[in-house]
Amino acid sequence: MSDEEQNEQQQPTEEELRQRIEEQLRTVRVQDVLLESVVSLINLTARRIAKEDERDLEQARVGIEAVRAVVDLLDDEPAKQVRSALSEIQMLYAKQAEGGPVEPEGGAEAPGAEAPPSSRGAAGGPSRLWTPPGSTPSR
């Protein structure tokens, strides 16, 4: 048997590929796809903060907000891990937004946060800690 004939036998037919995809679609959960998307958003957001040649804080802000919007739809354990990564991203975002150096912890890609203009720190100045909209009392 030639190499070409062996390759043809090893390649699945179009119908076999369709059947495999159909089987995957029958068993996949929306939460699984959502988790994959959230992980991609976290990684991309971290790059937009940490990599100087890719830095785009507006894109990072959108990534942070997108993850925050869907994290509660994930299963409990993955949601905890996503919240932890999101916290790191928010802190790195806050450092970068105030012009500080971005240093990813543990060699991982970077994470960060946004500083609401109306919040106040302990010394009376603006806090650089990002907080969800509506979670700080009005002054």
> pLDDT-derived band of residue 18, with 50, 70 and 90 as boundaries?
very high
Strand-pairing partners, residue 120, are: 126
- How far lies 87's CA from each of 24, 46, 92, in Å? 33, 11, 9
Are 90 and 74 spatial neighbours (Cβ–Cβ below 8 Å)?
A: no
The C-alpha atoms of residue 41 and residue 63 are separated, in whole angstroms, by 6
Which has more pLDDT, 129 or 25?
Answer: 25
96-134 tens-digit pLDDT: 998 866 555 444 444 433 333 333 344 444 444 444 455
Per-residue pLDDT tens over the stretch 34-72 = 999 999 999 999 999 999 999 999 999 999 999 999 999
pLDDT score recorded for residue 110:
40
Predicted local distance difference test score (pLDDT) of residue 55:
96
- Compute the distance between CA of residue 34 and CA of residue 22 in angstroms, rounded to an integer: 19
Please give the pLDDT value at position 82: 97
Domain ranges in the chain? 15-100
